[in-house]
Structure 1
């Protein structure tokens, strides 16, 4: 196996993280009220914190630094004043706790809510993409964006952004108070801080680029894991566990190396910002200490300055951490927005045309269809394909592998759009009908039957969720599935495991047939619908399918010609073209490709 390739997404310049994170605005907009409340609580907590140094200055200058007073009355007054100061500090602490708790709840709620909305939007967008999207996009890549990338976004929205705003308010407030109380000293400090910003911008851009690369490498590991775990029986049957583990290890080491480079640069950024800022502020504190010794300011003023400096240094340290988180989240947001910006090659018509009602099956018409798969643009899957199918007719498509049989189904279901020609269902071009109406008229039984990790009951009524249990049981009996379902531990309520691992191949196929019978569409598509059945089950199920074909149009793909001998018409394909058609007897009599295939199978 080869590693699934990641999609070639458009490259983006190293723009500011805020611009990248602006893609989250549509997800934040519905919660403007809660955001406003969170900001209110955030400002309240910041103001309560900034009020502490001012209260501390008053405590020192008025409550403590009074010298010794022999008058007992004055001493008592000071004790009362001291208690009032401490009560004021306690009140600030309570306000800080209340505001902080309210802010924490609001921003955490926002982070969880926005992340859930974002995941749902990305998933809903992906499941509407045409199969052509998944030809170039690995499933593991999509899963990585749904999990790892959205988790990074949740960290920013639900924690880091709020923490950053709170510390920005506190830092700016502390800086403003320092400038007001010590204008000369803080002018020098600000000049030094400007020099800190310039290297930070350079380091920040590198962290952001490395964060994007780190997420891409993590997606590579997810792609390998998804591919191998979905094919674990093949891996183990060829004894390739060690090889696949080694391949995953190489990808994981690549992700680690990229993360290591990102962490190294981010650590240098954090260390530089904190060290430079702390050094600049220590210079300001040294100047303040000199002023106290010279009698220019009071001890309480110095204490206030010390606390403001601590708040400012602490805010800068937190902001440097938050900046790193924002850089990582900016890369993750870019990847998510790129995925949301992807447009399916199959689009809904702007004004869908209604399909007419039918009673005896649908009519199908292919008019000069030319189609090349996007992954094979130089090789025609169908070439000048013309086919008319009457209502209620059973038509079999036969031919060698690669002849274009499955392509007919994929175009009819509009998984792809033909480059030339058109396809009509009941007289309506399929690209003019809504996708839901179009596909509601069909039911397909694929060769590789899909079983979901839910109960047998829910699997059968997947295409008709409102069906009653009696209808489900009738469809299961018609598909020769009722007996083995009832033999399961909980009957129709039995959980079938991921991809139906608790069932045999033949049982999964009969379940898929029951699903199609229950849907009861005017057009039935059978792609080797009995290929996984034993001879006895095939005979019973074939009889059930023939009963289900009554009063509806049926298209059958078959390699075993014995299953299509009684079809109304057999269409022989080779290299994307119709080379012959007729009944089994007519085609055998004419010789050609069908006669050779029939001779090989029936003689064997």
Structure 2
């Protein structure tokens, strides 16, 4: 089976090389003999008018990329003992990560060189021209072929880089799964997480983490809830497009007014363009108001639907839910969180559509004013914004560390002040003062770093922004002096540039705001992993959660309520278990999936799964296809203890049996440790899909098995010896 990343790599490479080769060689098809000798090639090539360098760069990039991937390529079915020594995954990924931006920067520099020094020839010269003309035009390819090759190589490099990095991560996971490679030589991971600690640049690990229990279901649910307002949103978008057009026309008429007033005095034109500017401003204001009003209506309608859905869910809860949940928490979800979601989604959808339309319309007007200045600006503005974005991200992380240190200092003070009698009784004033002073010293040190970083950030941000303006003004001034554009057009262009920068900045801010909205919509639901040696008490926790045993001390709570307060049957229908060795019974596959939920089990009729429910659970568990391939499909008898099925098939049926209950909590007790590599891969794929949007408790022996969990608790000797999250794991001893 061809992986999507591999398919994307080969398709993008084929399309890129085909386009770049055609655009590079077709304009000089009658002079290809020049390519045979270096001296003739030098006569054929010029930096602004020839794209042979783009052709060579595109082929070189693809060649180096394939060579890098060849160093880590792993076969689908490697022989036993294959590649016990780890391939250079980290070095190859670093090479891929550096190679892509380097090629892209060179291509952008080429685009700027063409814009500044290139000829005003859209098409390449006709090869049928006279010998003298043909010799003078040697190597010139025209703007169409030039930018076709640059854009093709640029887009292809982005796709190739992303596909290559994804493929490298996939091969690394496959190698570890096949060879059983971990830091201690242990078996492959349970949840698709890496057996070894992920590389610092392993963004694919974080993506797989999102895929396992990320925000995709929340986003899709929000989109579905907003889809009934499609007519309102469509009208709002149309009004936004009209407003963007009006905003682009304002700089245009501003430039024409300047030309009519000073460059080429024309009182009639001055009055005409002024009236048009006022008319456009009025229409733009009306369209902007209409767009904002319609998005506010859509936001309110989504807010109402969110509140109604949440309230209906609250009414459906058992009475015990309210015994263990504070009323303030419920009303906070019903008021603050629903408002946050609806406001942020609609507001940022408004900003995103407005900014996209504004950028497209402004670019069209910029090209009309000067395509050369547009290319220079389109290269410089995103680069400056990217640099500011990266630096801003670093500064925000540093700010969070400062606030964290201050919070720790405050906690030391609060602890001492709340127990001052004990402090004084033990004469511990000096040590308490020293502890507080130590925290303040760390806070002060970080505050100094934050101040320096802020100063550098502001200086960089200000200088780069001014540099873009200076560069565009200098080159635009030269074009005005050369008669290629008017002074008014240059003024209009500068206003366009500000509008384009604002649009790009707004688009960048939208994603962080939407993340906050999704976070509010996602409350509760996480993956908690229990790791530790055999006999440490991990499986006992599962039995306590399922209320198979009662705790002799302490309490096991779900949603803040002791599990003993729930009805036992009700609890078993909402907390589902997939164990290491699932038990199937001598009944059909369908009845094994519906086990415990049949009418004879005293289950309410609305909770008895239908055949469609059984099929849906089997699909989610990656079991539907192999079940249909059985002699009698879902009516096939499993035999005593599932003897008719393989281990991987039994495990996926057990997973379907858990999922058909639509559990609020999913318990995975070493769910893949007893399977072979092929069966484990299939069950793992099903587990990754089913963990999205659920509360999951995972049991495993090794820390390396569950690195992608939200929280990891190390259990040893019946106690939690190391709670924490992934960043803390390197400090925890490896448990075998």
Q: TM-score range by the shorter chain?
A: 0.3 to 0.5
Larger radius of gyration: 1
Greater fraction helix: 2
Greater fraction strand: 1
Q: Name the TM-score, length of structure 2 as normaliser.
A: 0.35
